[in-house]
Structure formats: C-alpha cells, structure tokens
Amino acid sequence: MFVLFDVGGTSTRVAVSKNGKKIDRIRSQATPQKFAEGVSLIARLAAELSQGQRIGAVVGGVPGPLDARKSKIIKASNLPDWTNKPFRQKLEQILKAPVTLENDADLAGLGEAVLGAGRGKRIVAYITISTGIGGTRLVDGKLDVYSVGFEPGHQLITFKGQPTDFESCASGTAMAKRYGRPAHTITSAKAWTEEARLVAQGLANTIVHWSPDIMVLGGGVGRRDLPIEQVNAQLKKMVTIFPKVPKAVRTKLGDQAGLLGALVISQGLKRG
C-alpha cells in the first residue's frame, strides 16, 4: 500500500494506491497554517484511507524548496510555520513507513510529463498558478537536475513599471488583493487581459531560459480561469529570438497532477 499526498497553499490531498499502478481512494481538506496540524491531517487521512493495511511507502509534494536531504521545507512562502520543520521525520515516526518528499510543482509536472498534457514531448515546462506560482522542468519524462530547486514564481517581471516578483503580481493571491475578491469570482475582461499579459511575461522568460517543447499550466488560475489564447498571443509578440514559440496548454490531470506524479515516483520505489 502506497500513501500519496499533495500539500498546497489552499488544499491538502491524500490518496492511496494498492499496487502503485493507479489511485484507489482520495481525500481532500483545507491545508492548516500550523505545521503540527498539517502533519496530523496527513497522518489521519492516510490511516483512514489505508483502512488498516500496512503502508509500504509514502510519497508527497510540499510547497517550496527542500533541503539537500529532502527532509524539510527550507522556505514555505504561503505556509511560514512549515519552514525548517522536521517534516519527513515526523511523518515517518507516525506512519512507520519511509517517506519521500518532493516539491509539489515537481510532482505535478512529473505527472503531466508522463501521464498528461506533456506526454510525448521531450522537454516540458510545468507552471502552476494558484495561491502562489511554482514550476519545474522535465526532460525525457524525468525531473531535471538542479542545485536547490526551480522557483519560477520568484523571477522578476515588470508590473506597473517596476521589477516585481512574478508570484507577487500574477498569483491567485495577488489577484485577490488587487481586485478585492477571489480570482475565480473575477469576471472583468480587462482584469483577465492584464493577468494574461503578466503570465506571458513569466512564460517568455521560461521559454528563453528552459527552451521547452511545451508549457503546461496548472493550479486554479492556470487550469481554469486564465484566458490561455490571450497568453499564447502575447507570447508570440514577446518571444522573437526563436523561429517557433512553444505553446502554453492547460493541464490534463487537473488537481490530481501532484498525486499522479507521486504515483510515478512510487512506481520507481516499487521497482527498486
């Protein structure tokens, strides 16, 4: 029995897979701001879903970069109380099974590259636009190597004439602050045209730095609300160095992308 989880700034999803080939059951609840409550939530849902069966391994995604041992989050912008806490150790103590931690965007990107919208493409850029903005680069269906991690949400783009953190002006949280209501309730065409322009700036940087074959957009804003045709139109104007501009597409796996990426990791553990 494998336990899979995906901790986001808004929701935490926990699932189980009996054989590592498919997801059998899923539960989702709001992500607690407090680390201790978050660990307890994952452990409780894992116990309920596993229904007394022995847990062989646990694989999960967490928001923010991890330390070199992949045992804790070193910077959780939207969950500050989770920063530098012994995440892997606490879960292993409670669930009595080995735990593998990855960045949440890494797992979602892996799911999309192997099973979703990026399947069949050699180089996939995955960008999630939700409570925050994250992303990763996949090559040949595997996570690309890095020194600390990929954090495209913290690149600088131009907003109101000033260099600004991408996440601070284009995430769902940023939109809610700017317009005084949750992003998914905003109906103004002007607001979404501006969001498309901001997102295109970040993706233009991604294209010239990562040179992907395709860019898959996930997260609540990226997969549902963003006018992606406007983003692609903006990209054609912004990126002029390459003869062909990679297309931005919506996720195929939706909010299960991270869990399915964890499933892909669990298959490797099973073979090992």
Give me the residue spans of the domains in the chain.
Answer: 2-106+255-271, 120-252
- pLDDT for res 270: 61
The pTM for the full model equals: 0.93
Residue 236 makes CB contacts below 8 A (sequence gap 6+) with 245
Q: What is the DSSP letter of 54?
A: P
Cβ atoms of 70 and 100 within 8 Å: the answer is yes
Residue 181 makes CB contacts below 8 A (sequence gap 6+) with none
Cα distance between residue 267 and residue 92, in whole Å: 19
Cβ atoms of 38 and 108 within 8 Å: the answer is no
Cβ atoms of 103 and 134 within 8 Å: the answer is yes
How far, CA to CA in Å, does 215 sit from each of 45, 111, 163, 247, 251? 33, 14, 23, 6, 9
Pairing status of strand 123-129 against strand 214-218:
parallel
Model confidence over 155-206: pLDDT tens digits?
999 998 999 999 999 999 999 999 999 999 999 999 999 999 999 999 999 9
Cα distance between residue 208 and residue 159, in whole Å: 20
Model confidence over 44-94: pLDDT tens digits?
999 999 999 999 999 999 998 999 999 999 998 889 999 999 999 999 999
Cα distance between residue 78 and residue 133, in whole Å: 10
Within this chain, domains 2-106+255-271 and 120-252 share the same CATH topology: yes
For domain 120-252, give the fold.
Nucleotidyltransferase; domain 5 (3.30.420)
Per the listing, tokens 């109380």 go with 81
Class of the CATH-defined domain 2-106+255-271:
alpha beta
* DSSP bridge partners of 139: 123, 142
Residue 159's φ and ψ, nearest 5 degrees, are -135, 120
- pLDDT for res 20: 87
Model confidence over 207-263: pLDDT tens digits?
999 999 999 999 999 999 999 999 999 999 999 999 999 999 999 999 999 999 999
